[in-house]
């Protein structure tokens, strides 16, 4: 029996990449999926794009490889060659990195080409013709990336020229409407197709502001710095010092878990309130302000002095502070 030709698919877990995989399977290809996680886009964020990736791969019956782009992604984010979108999203550089990771898997499994669920005109930064070509070039995959959902609207790729795939089996989907995709999902028998995933955290305006602040003040942020960006209210006191105030019990616990040796944790002594994390060189200079902000977000009555506990490593201490007026602390809010 003739062995099936292999292709690699970038699988995000969203509907489009599932459809792309299914289209290739229907054309007789053996698909290996690659799911890529970055510090700003993980499989469990609940935004729908990468949710339940393993189940998705199992349902599709494909072998799944997962790749984590960590430090190199952070490095790229300092100066993405092709710039940012409306937030801090470097979509073209990001997609090129993802395809490069997919290319490695292609070589390992001996795949003929690589596919993705990209749809022409769906995303403003990375899914128009010139951007798609730039991504291919940057990834060293010219002619080897097939976007099955839109491929009949795009120039022929190598697999098409070589007769591995036929134009009549490729899609003509364009734009942001999901009507065609939902029709295909029904045809393929996909149950409960996922909602459209809206890009990673770097496309979120509020998150982007915090991320820009971090990259402006820290030469090479760590994943710990980035995990902190995902929670709490952020305040910048000076180039080296910031405070993060938890907004609920989960965030308070996460702040405690993310605290490093040099960080100070604060909380009110006698009232329910947030945990705050103070990170910076000269913590003593900003301790009183941090305590006052922590108190402000607690249930403590206004206009009374209260005790705020603070802890650095194993050393615990307390400080009596009064609440702070909004006008005094909002200037620090990122």
Rule CB under 6 A: say whether 135 interacts with ligand SF4: no
Per CB under 6 A, the list member of 7, 10, 69, 94 interacting with ligand SF4 is 94
Per-residue 3-state assignment (H helix, E strand, C coil) for the chain:
CCCCCEEEEECCCCHHHHHHHHHHHHCCCEEEEEEEEECCECCCCCCCCCCCHHHHHHHHCCEEEEEECCHHHHHHHHCCCCCCCCCCCCHHHHHHHHHHHHHHHHHHHCCCEEECCCCECCCCCCCCHHHHHHHHHHCCCCCCEECCCCHHHCCCCHHHHCCCCCHHHCCCCECCCCHHHHHHHHHCCCCCCCCCCCCCHHHCHHHHHHHHHHHHHCCCCCHHHHHHHCCCEEEEEECCEEEEECCCHHHHHHHHHHCCCCCEEEEECCCCCCCEEEECCCHHHHHHHHHHHHHHCCCCCCCCCEEEEEEECCEEEEEEECCCCHHHHHHHEC
Nearer to ligand SF4, 199 or 280 (CB): 199
Rule CB under 6 A: say whether 18 interacts with ligand SF4: no
Rule CB under 6 A: say whether 37 interacts with ligand SF4: no
Q: CB of residue 98 vs ligand SF4: minimum separation in angstroms? A: 7
Per CB under 6 A, the list member of 203, 268, 290, 323 interacting with ligand SF4 is 203
Nearer to ligand SF4, 94 or 106 (CB): 94
Rule CB under 6 A: say whether 200 interacts with ligand SF4: yes
Rule CB under 6 A: say whether 90 interacts with ligand SF4: yes
Nearer to ligand SF4, 41 or 105 (CB): 41
Please tell me the count of residues contacting ligand SF4 according to CB under 6 A. 11
Nearer to ligand SF4, 199 or 246 (CB): 199
Rule CB under 6 A: say whether 41 interacts with ligand SF4: yes
Nearer to ligand SF4, 76 or 307 (CB): 76
Residues that bind ligand SF4 (CB under 6 A): 41, 89-91, 94-95, 126, 199-200, 202-203
């Amino acid at each position: 029996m003739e062995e099936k030709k292999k292709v690699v698919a970038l699988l995000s877990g969203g509907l489009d990449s599932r459809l792309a995989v299914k289209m290739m399977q229907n054309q007789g290809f053996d698909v290996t999926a690659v799911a890529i996680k970055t510090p700003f886009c993980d499989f469990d964020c609940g935004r729908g794009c990468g949710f339940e990736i393993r189940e998705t791969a199992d349902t599709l019956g494909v072998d799944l490889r997962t790749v984590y782009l960590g430090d190199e992604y952070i490095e790229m984010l300092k100066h993405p060659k092709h710039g940012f979108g409306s937030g801090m999203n470097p979509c073209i550089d990001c997609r090129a990195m993802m395809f490069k990771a997919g290319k490695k898997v292609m070589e390992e499994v001996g795949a003929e080409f690589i596919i993705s669920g990209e749809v022409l005109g769906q995303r403003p930064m990375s899914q128009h013709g010139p951007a798609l070509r730039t991504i291919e070039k940057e990834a060293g995959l010219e002619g080897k990336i097939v976007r099955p959902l839109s491929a009949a609207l795009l120039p022929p790729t190598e697999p098409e020229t070589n007769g591995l795939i036929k134009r009549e089996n490729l899609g003509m989907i364009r734009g942001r409407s999901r009507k065609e995709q939902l029709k295909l999902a029904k045809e393929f028998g996909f149950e409960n197709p996922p909602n459209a995933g809206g890009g990673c955290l770097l496309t979120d305006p509020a998150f982007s502001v915090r991320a820009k602040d971090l990259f402006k003040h820290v030469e090479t942020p760590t994943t710990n710095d980035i995990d902190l960006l995902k929670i709490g209210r952020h305040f910048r006191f000076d180039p080296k010092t910031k405070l993060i105030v938890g907004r609920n019990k989960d965030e308070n616990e996460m702040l405690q878990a993310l605290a490093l040796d040099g960080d100070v944790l604060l909380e009110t002594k006698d009232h329910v309130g947030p945990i705050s994390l103070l990170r910076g060189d000269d913590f003593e200079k900003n301790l009183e302000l941090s305590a006052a902000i922590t108190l402000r977000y607690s249930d403590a009555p206004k206009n009374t002095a209260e005790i705020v506990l603070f802890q650095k490593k194993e050393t615990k201490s307390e400080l009596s502070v009064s609440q702070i007026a909004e006008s005094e602390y909002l200037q620090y809010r990122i």
